[in-house]
Amino acid sequence: MSDNPWVVVPATLAIVAASAFFVAVEFAALAAKRHRLEDAAPASRSARAALRSSSELTLLLAGSQLGITAATLALGAISKPAVHHWLTPLFEDVGLPEVAADVAGFVLALVVVTFLHLVVGEMTPKSWAIAHPERSATLLALPMRGFMWVFRPLLRALNDLANRLVRAVGVEPADEVAVGHSPDALRHLVEHSANVGALDAGFSAQLAEALSMERMTVRELLGSGQALAAVPPDALVKDVRDMTRRTGHLRVLVGEPGRITAVVHVRDTLAAEDSAPAAPFARPVFTLDAGTTVHAALRQMRESRNHLAVVTDDGRVAGVVTLADVLRRLLPRAGVAA
């Protein structure tokens, strides 16, 4: 390679810039939040390109590593020998023997090139990408997609080989970054925030209660010895209204205590005579197994548009839960009515 500084210096700057580009791409891909890229995607071609890259993360990282490695080798083949060649005569001029000057030139050239590569080509772009992950991912997405398009066959081969090695040690490779936090991690974050005074104790208790519902079952929402207020299948509208007055419940169960078959909302009976049968106003009752998690129960009740569910345990009626029960658990200070 030529030792002409007009060739070596621009080539070195270009190589360091290429290294910085690939390092920034790598850290931006790992730090960028997918939902923010999705928000920007409709109006930005670059954001759409960043989204596509995030869906094939291992291939993107393979491309970044290939680019960084190529830049490192290029610095070692072009920049270091040239700097070594320029520095050695300077050490000879100050009186060092030829061998000592050559060694000193080699060591200093290695330090200079390594400094440029490490600080300018790696640490600086890494810090920038971490500080502005979505911006850097969007800005660099299109040129990186072009690089991946050119070298895709090689990248696929390298990536497949790496995945085989990963599977050999019992780990399944992933193509996307896992998003979100587990309930345990969030619970720890809430506790830490409350302990250091960054979160009000009342809010902390509510958040902890909400997170506990990921594992809590509807069985735990049932009161001990819960008595069911129900009217018989042949009940009249008057019986439904009387039950509402006694209990305060707008939804009245229909059936025997051990076998609930329907539910009547007192609102539906407002236009009916007291002596009218209640059966025409009854709706099939929604049931849940006692082992169902509260999180799953809420989803099922929302999807089926039911505010009340009869809980069964081994085929027998164990009690009733309502959305009000869950809200009361979440918001104990709010005084949610049943």
Q: What CATH number has the domain bearing residue 285?
A: 3.10.580.10
Looking at the structure, tell me whether residues 106 and 234 fall in a common domain.
no
Looking at the structure, tell me whether residues 188 and 57 fall in a common domain.
no
Tokens standing for residue 256: 């025997």
Residue 333 has pLDDT above 60, yes or no: no
Q: Which residues, 6 or more positions from 85, have their beta carbon under 8 angstroms from its beta carbon?
A: 3, 105
Range of the domain at 54: 5-168
pLDDT tens figures, 203-250: 666 666 666 666 778 787 776 555 677 888 888 888 888 888 888 888
Looking at the structure, tell me whether residues 18 and 55 fall in a common domain.
yes
The number of folded domains in the chain is 3
Domain presence at residue 118 = yes
Looking at the structure, tell me whether residues 104 and 157 fall in a common domain.
yes
Looking at the structure, tell me whether residues 194 and 246 fall in a common domain.
no
192, 212, 232 - which closes a domain: 212
pLDDT tens figures, 260-313: 888 888 888 888 888 888 888 888 888 888 888 877 887 888 888 888 888 888
Alpha helices in the chain (DSSP H): 5-31, 34-40, 45-55, 57-74, 80-93, 98-115, 124-131, 133-168, 183-195, 201-212, 237-247, 294-304, 323-330
Q: Please state whether the predicted TM-score (pTM) of the whole model is above 0.85.
A: no
pLDDT tens figures, 192-205: 666 666 666 666 66
Q: Where is pLDDT greater, at 34 or 135?
A: 135
Domain presence at residue 174 = no
* Beta-strand pair 230-231/251-256: parallel
Looking at the structure, tell me whether residues 221 and 196 fall in a common domain.
no
111, 139, 168 - which closes a domain: 168
Looking at the structure, tell me whether residues 28 and 157 fall in a common domain.
yes
Domain presence at residue 335 = no
